[in-house]
Amino acid sequence: MVNQDDDPDGRRQLEQAIGELGEERPEKASRAMVALALMDDTPAQEQRQWLERAERLLAGSGDAAARAAFTVNKLSCLASRGDPGVWAELDALPRLGPEPILFETARGLYNGGEAAALLGHDDRARRLAHEACQLGLQLESDILTGYARGTLFHTSWRQGHWDAAQAEQDALRSDYPDLVTVQWEDKLIAGATAVARGDLVQGLESLTDIVRSGTSRHVLWEAAAWIARVRLTQDDPEASWALLERPLAQMGATDHWAAGHPLIPVVVRTALSLGNTGTARDVTASAETATADCDTPAAHAALHTARGLLASGAARVAHFEQALTARQAIARPYDTALAMEDCADALSDASPDKAVDLLHRALATYEGLRAEWDAGRCTHALRRLGAIRPQPRGRAGYGNKLSPRELQVARYLARGATNKEIAQALFLSPRTVEQHVHKVLRKLDVARANVPGVILSPGNDGPDSGHGGSG
């Protein structure tokens, strides 16, 4: 109920099972206790209590498989919290032995890989997930194999292989259609990619489905962070805060700041936009305390960003530069480009040349990912700094062909976007978008409703593929 169906009634069933099993069936009772400890919404102190109770129950057990299961579950809890010593213990799990022991090892490697991906250890995540996948295949366990492949897909996306990751996920969905958790992660990546590539309507719809679902917390929290970022760029911090309040309360109640790191910067930005500096400082302090001794590079990078948002002058620049260095070490291109934008913003007055260089590097990353929404924001910042100037009047244009900007607008029209949505996605004024739309319709010689048939038809996907008429 908990692991495969995200059924909220699973907790009650587990608690009831513990009461019925008592100490007469210690192996099974301990398994239920550990299952409760592993749940996303279990606070850190309660998690430790369940683990201690389970360990006491198993103290005299001669069941090697039960002891192996407990060891793996304990390591899974420690990994999700960013315990620095857990990686060596995962590496020490037995790779040879009877099937029940190997199954527990495979489960531990998968859980460790998933935790590593959440914490910002992508290479370790891929190594652990790959080994879990191989063991899953050996044991003919579809669940373990499917989940491990899901982790490989997730890390591939984070490392910037967006199109390849989507192909991996399509194959995974076909092979394992019943793995609910993998389906929600698929929806997260699809929604995030759609937003980054400018399809805000479709992307926000997918991400909102996740937030409403009550699914795994780390998936829900990351979806909320993406939506909140969009709302902030739309100058709607109230909507952003309304969305963030529940995840923020969940993180505070469970102390799962290490897994909730995508929320930290956007919570601080939103609180500051609303003038709630005290709240922004409190959130940052809570996250710092909870992750101080954790091996969680992604959370530490997020905290550098939060500190930069709260600082000014040279301290602001220093914190953002630390965040950038941390992001570069994690090697997630999209997150690194976001950190470059923060640095550029902090440097724009004192060192405009450095700011422009950082923005150009971020823009190149976004263009490589085809992240049109982010590229539009970056181009807007470059324009403000005078690094991109308007085309002089009288300069040779594109004739009856669509310019690169007009092709961008045409693609949004083909998706059914309104002028307002296009303006928000490309960081243009409504008046400018209106002019671009007029030119697109004139050059294509079609009504707005017929743009999809022209733009989405074969051969019309490049910047030089505009038409001079429908004939």
Q: What's the whole-number mean pLDDT along residues 80-107? A: 94
DSSP state of 395: S
Does pLDDT of 459 surpass 70? no
Helical H runs in 274-400? 277-291, 297-310, 313-330, 333-347, 352-369, 372-384
240-282 tens-digit pLDDT: 999 999 999 988 888 889 989 999 999 999 999 999 999 999 9
Structure tokens at 35: 């299952």
**So what's the pLDDT on residue 165?**
85
Rg (CA), the chain: 25
Q: Within its chain, how far is the Cα of 443 from the centroid?
A: 39
DSSP state at residue 196? H
The pLDDT-based confidence of 397 (bands split at 50, 70, 90) is low
The pLDDT score that the predictor gives to residue 85 is 94
pLDDT higher than 70, residue 364: yes
CA–CA separation, 82 and 296 (whole Å) = 6
Least confident interval from 2-11, 20-29, 127-136: 2-11
CA distance 39 to 10: 10
pLDDT of residue 394: 45
- Output the DSSP codes for 285-297: HHHHHHHTT---H
**Phi and psi torsions of 229, nearest 5°:** -60, -40
Cα–Cα–Cα angle for 334, 335, 340, nearest 5°?
A: 95
**Cα 242 to Cα 230, 402, 403, 410, distances in angstroms:** 13, 41, 40, 33
Spatial contact of 137 and 153, defined as CB atoms under 8 Å apart: no
What pLDDT shows up at residue 396?
53
Q: Predicted confidence band at 428 (pLDDT cuts at 50, 70, 90)? A: confident
Query: How far apart (Å, rounded) are the C-alpha atoms in residues 277 and 283?
Result: 10
Distance CA 374, CA 303 (A): 22
Q: Rounded mean pLDDT of the chain? A: 89
- Measured CA to CA, the distance from residue 152 to residue 147 in angstroms comes to 9
Distance CA 260, CA 243 (A): 15
d(C-alpha 305, C-alpha 308), whole Å: 5
Lowest mean pLDDT among 62-76, 134-148, 266-280: 62-76
Tens-digit pLDDT profile for residues 286-327: 999 999 999 999 999 999 999 999 999 999 999 999 999 999
- Residue 222 or 28, more confident: 222
Distance CA 224, CA 211 (A): 6
- The whole-number pLDDT of residue 277 equals 97
Q: Looking up tokens 């080994």, which residue turns up?
A: 131
- The pLDDT confidence band at residue 464, using thresholds 50, 70 and 90, is very low
CA within 13 Å, CB half, 453: 9
Give me the mean pLDDT over the 414-439 stretch: 86
Residue 457's pLDDT band (cuts 50, 70, 90): low
State the average pLDDT over residues 5-11: 79
d(CA 344, CA 224): 26
Query: What is the share, in percent, of the chain residues with pLDDT greater than 70?
Result: 94
Look at residue 3 in the predicted model and tell me its pLDDT: 72
- The 10s digit of each residue's pLDDT in 152-206 is 989 999 999 999 888 888 888 888 777 777 788 889 999 999 999 988 989 999 9
Q: What is the pLDDT of residue 222?
A: 95
Residue 7: the pLDDT is 76
